[in-house]
Amino acid sequence: METNQIFETIRMIEEDNLDIRTITMGISLLDCIDADVDKACEKIYQKITRCAKDLVSVGDQIATEYGIPIINKRISVTPIAAVASAAKATSEECIKYAQVLDQAAKTVGVNFIGGYSALVEKGFQGSDLALIESIPEALATTDFVCSSVNIGSTKAGINMDAVKNMGTVIKETAEKSDLGCAKLVVFANAVEDNPFMAGAFHGFGEADTIINVGISGPGVMKRALEKVKGETFDVVAETVKKTAFKITRMGQLVGQEASKRLDIPFGIVDLSLAPTPAVGDSVAQILEEMGLGSVGTHGTIAALALLNDAVKKGGVMACNHVGGLSGAFIPVSEDAGMIEAVENGFLNLEKLEAMTAICSVGLDMIAIAGDTPAESISAMIADEAAIGVVNHKTTAVRIIPAKNKKVGDHVEFGGLLGSAPVMETNEASSADFIQRGGRIPAPLHSFKN
Amino acid sequence: MRAVLTVIGKDKVGIVAGVSQSLAVLNINIVDITQTIMQDYFTMMMILEMNGQSNFDYIRQELDKTGQQLGIKISIQNEEIFNAMHKLG
């Protein structure tokens, strides 16, 4: 083995914050369905604590043995709205499911449990509406439960009734708890094997239990690009590809090892550059390294497009199965470079929307003024969903109306969630638009241009 | 299982002796050693055979202690991580 390769790996981990963002165990709860809510909850608790009892210890073992930090161990479960349907659960009863998920998460010691979810892109069935209505209370009364609602897809169009509901739900969630909105994602084209919270759930097409891995590594990418300063974009793309390959190999190794030790099949590696609020672990700074004065300025979209694509190209060869959201995440509050760009006035909501047309997820971890009307939030969701639905990609909104705060104020979330400046939104009303409800039809794609 | 141990620190008398002594106490066999001085910094790499040694946490703690005594940084990792990252197949 080459000495310099060994030192390269060690440097990546110790100096450039290379880590595995998450090992997520997907657990199907379809076999826990029961017409009696309490019985269902008991079965859910039993199944999660049985399947995931060793998840945290195995994760920690792998982290020490390989010397690579594994930041989160998480669980994703079957969308609870489906489980709750059998009991025709009311919104009060839905809370019980949230609470049992929270208890199970605490028992096994994971960081988050995702799947308090409903998939309503085409319409509501069973307990979908009850679950959606219960989200504010569910997120306020639990610590680790994450929730998501899929309101649109390229095949089905956009469920504007759900979009309308979610505006109100987000407002209520913000009223009830400070961190609730950080645990709530509204999706279009949600994927079933996403290991990243808050949007993770265990899809119906998945195996009974599965291990998915999400990688991180923006610091390593930035360091690699520092070495090719001034070179052409051919060189930049090549550098990103090669670095993504190396990062992803690590994800593949960790995933395989976890799958072997837990005796659970290995699902996918999510090839994602996911930032943390730590200095030197920022996706925004990678873009700036390409030559932008600040993320958000002219050229940002082109830089992000290159980055996103090259990460996938490099990563695909490095692992067996790629999935999830794969790409570059640009949450505002979790990325030191993004926060700075907003504070300096170089990055606004409109540019973020444009960026989401080509990257993973969408308007992510963005704080807005607490008095923003619910309809405006719904309209932001509709805009993001339209980008996803028309462009065959996943988009999401995780937006945080900050109680009693105005544009320019600052909100602290703490930990991996970071902090965010309150951003300016458009003040013109979207109320009549959102009040219409109904469904925006699926786009026509046979005359694509 | 094989592991890679690396040592970085200011050069001084007794580093190789100290590290090898700790490994001997832990019953870990040294398969290969390479060592150099890079701009005043003592840099050493060892390939270790960890037969029958499975408590990685303990090993790491012991080596941390040795590192602190000698004023150097010791890291130890499963060899596979380097192979995975840099080799195909």
Is A45 part of the contact surface with chain B (CB cutoff 8 Å)? no
Q: Which residues contact A252 (CB under 8 A, 6 or more apart)?
A: A213, A269, A318, A319, A320, B84
Check residue B11 and give its pLDDT: 87
Q: CB distance from B86 to chain A under 8 Å?
A: yes
**Which of B31, B33, B44, B77 is the best mutation test for A, with the most CBs of A within 10 A?**
B77
* A3, A65, A252 member nearest B34 (Cβ): A3
Q: Do B56 and A65 touch (CB under 8 A)?
A: yes
Q: B81: helix, coil or strand?
A: helix
* CB contact B62 to A (< 8 Å): no
Is the Cβ of A224 closer than 8 Å to some Cβ of chain B? no
Q: What's phi and psi for A272, nearest 5 deg?
A: -125, 135
Record: contact A249-B45, CB cut-off 8 A: no
Measured CA to CA, the distance from residue A394 to residue B28 in angstroms comes to 50
- The confidence score (pLDDT) of residue A82 equals 96
**B89, pLDDT greater than 70:** no
Q: Is B2 on the interface with A (CB under 8 A)?
A: no
A188 with A151: CB under 8 angstroms?
Answer: yes
Per-residue pLDDT of chain A (449 residues; tens, 9 = 90+): 678 888 888 888 888 888 999 999 999 999 999 999 999 999 999 999 999 999 999 999 999 999 999 999 999 999 999 999 999 999 999 999 999 999 999 999 999 999 999 999 999 999 999 999 999 999 999 999 999 999 999 999 999 999 999 999 999 999 999 899 999 999 999 999 999 999 999 999 999 999 999 999 899 999 999 999 999 999 999 999 999 999 999 999 999 999 999 999 999 999 999 998 888 889 999 999 999 999 999 999 999 999 999 999 999 999 999 999 999 999 999 999 999 999 999 999 999 999 999 987 889 999 999 999 999 999 999 999 999 999 999 999 999 999 999 998 999 887 778 888 999 999 999 999 999 999 999 998 877 66
Pick from A217, A230, A344: which is nearest to A289 by CA?
Answer: A230
Cut 0.95: pTM above it: no
Could you give the angle at the alpha carbon of A318 between the alpha carbons of A316 and A324, nearest 5°? 50
Q: Do B84 and A250 count as a contact with CB atoms less than 8 A apart?
A: yes
A320 CB near a chain B CB, below 8 Å? Answer: no
Residue of B nearest to A317 (CA): B88
Contact A246 B85 (CB under 8 A): yes
Which residue of A lies nearest to B47 if distances are taken between CA atoms?
Answer: A1
- A105, A324, B81 from A113: Cα distances, Å: 6, 16, 28
* Mutation site for B-interface testing, chosen from A64, A245, A248 by largest number of B Cβ within 10 Å: A64
Contacts of A261 in chain B (CB under 8 A): none
Across the interface, of A6, A61, A64, the residue whose CB is closest to B82 is A6
Chain A residues whose CB is inside 8 A of the B57 CB are 64
Q: In A, which residues are within 8 Å of B77 by CB distance?
A: 10, 65-68
CA distance B14 to chain A (A): 22
- Please give, rounded to a whole number of angstroms, the shortest distance from the CA of B75 to a CA of chain A: 8
The pLDDT value recorded for residue A54 is 97
Q: Would you call A246 and B34 a contact, using CB atoms and an 8 Å cutoff?
A: no
Q: What does the alpha-carbon distance between residue A336 and residue A436 come to, in Å, rounded to a whole number?
A: 39
Q: Is A260 on the interface with B (CB under 8 A)?
A: no
Confidence (pLDDT) at A188: 96
What number is the ipTM of this complex? 0.85
A253 touches chain B (CB under 8 A): yes
Of A2, A7, A250, the CB nearest to B81: A250
